[in-house]
A and B are shown apart, each in its own frame.
Chain A
């Protein structure tokens, strides 16, 4: 890009818990985040930050295919927290950090509160820019029990456990599958969370193939993502913004600059993008940034900050 054009380009940088992002688009966890090569490609394609697929304590193959099925306005997925061994994951993360020119968010999960703390400690040695605690995967209830993120008390205990094991900023990723997300947000903020990601996938939902009368996903159920859950995500972010002071990464159904702006106006400081890649491919990051800039130009906004929480 020519230098004079760069100069004219509106600054859409934002910050999360003191870390600056060149733009508010973040690769959400679980999408194109298995390998360093893939994460770096997304960073190079224009994302403001990248999130790894959740790193777990032991190697897991996840569920048998199909693990993904599209539905009108979104998709269901139940990949089942597949991940390589912890050593392999840490090696990959180290490599990603060495090569990335944008902040790297290391998503992690544990099977117990204690294990979340242990995972945080080990991952912190590699020094990612953020930890993100996945306390909200909706697909592993049969194996791991109810997600920690469904109760304020367990959400807080996981948060506290991680904060006692690391000095890195911690993002806690919340589930929308609760009766009052404000309570959960308050609980994790009080327990020391530095930021909140909202929301993880919704449901779970189910798709049954009617010719065979068999659920398509091998796990039978999977989390719903995509435009179908955007209004829920916007409402959750709006409520969380009214409840806590810490910054929010708004995630759920963002496909366009207008979607991103809506999420910012609900109170998000940055937005996560995942399922949108299904429709617009990886150029979605740079395109959404361009669309945000165009909107700001035409509507007379000079800084991204002016959009954040504007709907309140």
Chain B
């Protein structure tokens, strides 16, 4: 039923100065990249991808506006409305040599994918980026696993000074990846998609749009000019599906008006 079910917050972890993880008293079978609509009564309802699928679901959130501010004020034991999982378009693991490129909290929906990638015998490179070292998510968790980890920070406090895309661009010249997966700020993802298309490497990216129904009927999150719905056909799309679309250029607000990125 597409109606919010109240679930308890079992715990809250502070990941970085601006990012928290919420552990939900909810276990479901979901795929990497899928999301739920989370409702804070009398506030709003917004889409969030899962950062952990095994056991209790987790969502990892950056404080960016009024809704996430409210979310950050919730405590262990509080209730939150949950409906989902949504999104027919999810990450699909393929290939032997894989690169994951994550910008900031964009790493969150990629974590269940990374878990799945590591279940097989694959070579995994993960590039994570953030404004500064303190904002780099899950360095320790990634370092302890069989991952070739690269970092980029805007201020150069950790790894390459610059963006995830700069690191990726150099890397694709040396290593032939079978797949690239990405999530992060849209302009960063656009560059990742462009690199993948140019190098002819299949690539999947997770998109964000203002959503209302979350289940593919209201039309709020449709992409120009294909009409693909981010909530139902996505939120994960291939770089090819997004080529020549609004991706990287504009999105729409609640009224349906265009907003340039």
Instruction: List chain A positions with a Cβ less than 8 A from chain B.
Output: 30-42, 53, 59-62, 64-72, 75, 79, 82-85, 88, 207, 209, 211-212, 214, 216, 218, 274-275, 277-278, 281-282
Contacts and interface: CB of A to CB of B under 8 A. Distances in A.
Contacts of A85: 257
Given A35-B222, A70-B1, A209-B6, A65 B212 contact: yes
A237 B213 CA distance: 29
Q: Is the interface on chain B under 10, 10 to 19, 20 to 34, or 35 or more residues?
A: 35 or more
B255 A216 contact: no
A53 B220 CA distance: 11
Given A34-B219, A275-B217, A82 B254 contact: yes
Contact of A209 (B37, B41, B213, B225): B41
B256 interface: yes
Given A83-B256, A84-B257, A37 B213 contact: no
Given A31-B217, A69-B2, A61 B253 contact: yes
A62 B220 CA distance: 12
24 contacts: A30-B218, A31-B219, A32-B217, A32-B219, A34-B219, A35-B252, A37-B227, A53-B219, A59-B257, A60-B255, A61-B253, A61-B254, A61-B255, A65-B212, A69-B3, A70-B2, A82-B255, A83-B255, A84-B258, A85-B257, A88-B257, A88-B258, A281-B216, A282-B216
A60 B254 CA distance: 8
Given A41-B226, A71-B3, A275-B217, A34 B79 contact: no
B42 A214 contact: yes
Contacts of A68: 2, 212-213, 215, 217-218
A278 B2 contact: yes
Nearest to B253: A61
Interface of B: 1-4, 6, 37, 39, 41-42, 44-46, 79, 81, 212-213, 215-220, 222-229, 232, 252-258
B218 A32 contact: yes
A79 B226 contact: no
The 8 closest A-B pairs by CB, nearest first: A41-B227, A65-B45, A70-B2, A37-B227, A32-B219, A38-B222, A211-B6, A61-B254
A60 B253 CA distance: 10
A218 to B, nearest CB: 8
A207 B225 contact: no
Contacts of A53: 219, 256
Contact of A67 (B212, B222, B255, B256): B212
Contacts of B41: 209, 212, 214
A40 B227 contact: yes
Most chain A CB within 10 A, of B41, B256, B258, is at B256
B207 to A, nearest CB: 15
Contacts of A275: 217
B222 A37 contact: yes
A295 to B, nearest CB: 26
A32 B258 CA distance: 16
B224 A209 contact: no
A212 B6 contact: yes
Contact of B227 (A30, A35, A72): A35
Contacts of A281: 216, 232
B45 A66 contact: yes
A60 B228 CA distance: 24
Nearest to A89: B256
A278 B256 contact: no
Given A67-B218, A212-B41, 10 more contacts: A35-B256, A38-B222, A53-B219, A61-B255, A75-B2, A84-B257, A88-B258, A212-B6, A214-B41, A278-B215
Contact of A84 (B39, B81, B219, B255): B255
B42 to A, nearest CB: 6
A281 B213 CA distance: 14
A212 B39 CA distance: 12
A67 B219 contact: no
A237 B79 CA distance: 44
Contacts of B222: 32, 34-35, 37-38, 41
Contacts of A207: 3
A282 B232 CA distance: 11
B44 A64 contact: yes
Nearest to A60: B255
A217 to B, nearest CB: 10
A79 B255 contact: no
A37 B228 CA distance: 8
A32 B212 CA distance: 12
Nearest to B245: A37
A38 B253 CA distance: 16
A66 B257 contact: no
A33 B228 CA distance: 13
